Structure 1
Amino acid sequence: MANLVPLSLTPDFAPREDKALPERLLDGNPVFRTWELDTALAEAAKWGKIRTGIWEATPGTTRSIKGETFEFCYLISG
């Protein structure tokens, strides 16, 4: 069984749209669009969920609060 799942970089469904929470907003009025492409349990949920997707934002500055979340980002542009 293959562990690799091919993902489309051009999803054929509408993204979820969000705005920054007021307590995290520092400058501007950014809008976030998220296409969640895949969700899997990490090592039988020992580490929680692994989410894969595409995220984009309009210009603005926000405060990020991750807690114990690990995040890997591959920047395409911007």
Structure 2
Amino acid sequence: LFRDASAGTFMRLLRYKGEETGSEIVPVNPAYTSRICTKCGKLNDPFSEETFHCRFCGFTIHRDDNACENVLRRGMGFDILGTSPIA
């Protein structure tokens, strides 16, 4: 169903399902989410490997998991380049 839907159609369906279940849908800018370390918050150089390795603190994680954690934090109002919530 979703693979054939346009981005707009997908968002409408997502919002509908969110309202139906009482969930809040929060749009998040994905910029740099795969390059920012979820451990120390530092911006790393672009990479093409599946594993994210922070050159600052040495933290290692699958790059998709790193990006997912950053999207979640950004959606919750945290500045992912630091550790404090956005005021």
Could you state the TM-score of these two structures normalised by the residue count of structure 1? Answer: 0.24
Hey, which of these two has a bigger chunk of strand by percent? 1
TM-score (norm 2): 0.22
More helix by share: 2
